[in-house]
């Protein structure tokens, strides 16, 4: 009996060590994926701010990897762009060299998106075939892969909205595209954090985990509102703070009919909602930090709540500066990067209350 118990203990230790090695490898892979997704969102933001997103008017998932390689090919690509309303109404008279500038932004965005598909799919296939993916992770990782594939279709669906009657893409589709990208980022962060070691500190209060989840959801919602602001160019007007149009709550927020459409199509209303959402997020994070510091000072959760508050505060300062400067490209990209940093940390903070994925047990080893 003693020999059986000793053999089981050794087998368990071996299985735990193997699990830890596999988790380190998968964490390393997911860290690369997270960095690539971060870069993709930033390049996408720059593409939007430079009005480059409509420069490639055809969707060629495979052939589109190769850019124009000759003067004739550049002329053909430029002729396709000259057929859409954006050229006629905004860029008429643009030269081929000027066109190349906006083309490269969109091409880089699409190439990076394709590259992330490869960076995610091939290592996943390797880890899966090598038996290094834990059973509990298989469906979530396949779900992320599938969502990434859908995101490619959503990206073209977004671009196509600006090729016929509009000079820019639909704000609805832009917001959908950005939110899906952020969901993929958040899902990768969730799994990455679940595979990482956790502290043994208890949650400061019974509601701390719930509040952390609300903060993470609110961070994502703020990104959605920010995408509507970007899609409507709402940040280019009412460039004052803390007052907006001379008031804390400006007038004419619901001048369009039906009233609900102002929430999505009235630049003034959308910018006000984005401001209000920022105030609410700031208040939630502040309250979360104060409660954690009072209930459990010195714990890992309390320290992370302080860091989360610092990140949200910095993001608020960057957002206000971006608004006051009328959205210069550099500040606009920085603001979008900050939003993703806040979201990523909020997801990791929330996941920290749940604990890491369970390791093998003696019962599982015997089975």
Give burial (CB, 10 Å; 0-12/13-18/19+) of 184.
buried
Residue 349 annotated as binding site: no
Cis peptide before 258 (omega within 30 of 0): yes
**Inter-CA distances, 75 with 70, 99, 153, 167, 317, Å:** 9, 10, 27, 21, 44
Smallest CA-to-CA distance from 41 within 287, 364, 336 is with: 336
Instruction: Identify the burial level of 22 via C-beta atoms within 10 angstroms of its C-beta, where 0-12 means exposed, 13-18 middle and 19 or more buried.
Output: middle
Locate 237 and state its tokens. 């007007």
Which token pair is 126?
């390797």
Q: Are 232 and 265 in contact (CB under 8 A)?
A: yes
> What angle, 0 to 180 degrees and rounded to 10, lies between the N-to-C axes of helices 2-49 and 171-194?
160
Asked if residue 301 belongs to a known ligand binding site, the reply is: no
- Collect all residues with Cβ–Cβ distance below 8 Å to 206 and sequence separation of at least 6: none
Q: In this structure, which long-range contacts are made by residues 269-274, counting pairs with CB atoms below 8 Å and at least 24 apart in sequence?
A: 270/225, 270/228, 270/229, 270/232, 270/234, 271/229, 271/234, 271/235, 271/237, 271/238, 271/244, 272/244, 273/225, 274/222, 274/225, 274/226, 274/228, 274/229, 274/234
Q: Which residues pair with 244 in a beta bridge?
A: 247
Residue list for the binding site for heme: 274, 335
Residue list for the binding site: 274, 335
């Amino acid at each position: 009996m003693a020999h059986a118990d000793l053999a089981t203990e050794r087998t368990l230790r071996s299985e735990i060590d193997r699990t830890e090695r596999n988790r380190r490898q998968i964490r390393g892979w997911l860290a690369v994926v997270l960095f690539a997704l971060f870069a993709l969102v930033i390049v996408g933001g720059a593409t939007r701010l430079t009005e480059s997103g409509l420069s490639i008017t055809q969707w060629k998932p495979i052939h589109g990897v190769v850019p124009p390689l000759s003067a004739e090919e550049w002329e053909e690509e430029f002729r396709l762009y000259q057929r859409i309303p954006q050229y006629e109404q905004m860029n008429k008279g643009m030269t081929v060299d000027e066109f190349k500038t906006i083309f490269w932004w969109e091409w880089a965005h699409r190439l990076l998106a394709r590259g992330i598909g490869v960076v995610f799919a091939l290592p996943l296939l390797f880890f899966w075939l090598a038996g290094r993916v834990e059973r509990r992770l298989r469906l979530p990782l396949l779900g992320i892969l599938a969502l990434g594939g859908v995101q490619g279709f959503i990206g073209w669906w977004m671009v196509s909205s600006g090729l016929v009657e509009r000079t820019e893409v639909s704000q609805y589709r832009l917001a959908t595209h950005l939110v899906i990208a952020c969901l993929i980022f958040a899902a990768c962060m969730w799994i990455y954090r679940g595979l990482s070691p956790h502290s043994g500190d208890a949650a400061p209060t019974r509601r701390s985990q719930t509040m952390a989840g609300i903060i993470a959801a609110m961070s994502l919602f703020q990104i959605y509102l920010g995408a509507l602001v970007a899609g409507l160019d709402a940040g280019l007007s009412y460039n004052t703070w803390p007052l907006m149009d001379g008031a804390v709550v400006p007038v004419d927020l619901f001048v369009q009919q039906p009233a609900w459409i102002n929430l999505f199509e009235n630049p003034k209303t959308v910018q006000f909602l984005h401001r209000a959402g920022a105030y609410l997020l700031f208040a939630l994070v502040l309250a979360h930090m104060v409660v954690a510091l009072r209930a459990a000072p010195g714990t890992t959760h309390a320290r992370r709540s302080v860091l989360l508050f610092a990140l949200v505060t910095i993001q608020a300062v960057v957002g206000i500066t971006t608004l006051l400067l009328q959205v210069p490209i550099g500040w606009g990209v920085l603001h979008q990067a900050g939003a993703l940093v806040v979201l990523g940390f909020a997801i990791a903070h929330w996941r920290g209350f749940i604990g890491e994925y369970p390791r093998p047990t003696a019962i599982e080893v015997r089975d």
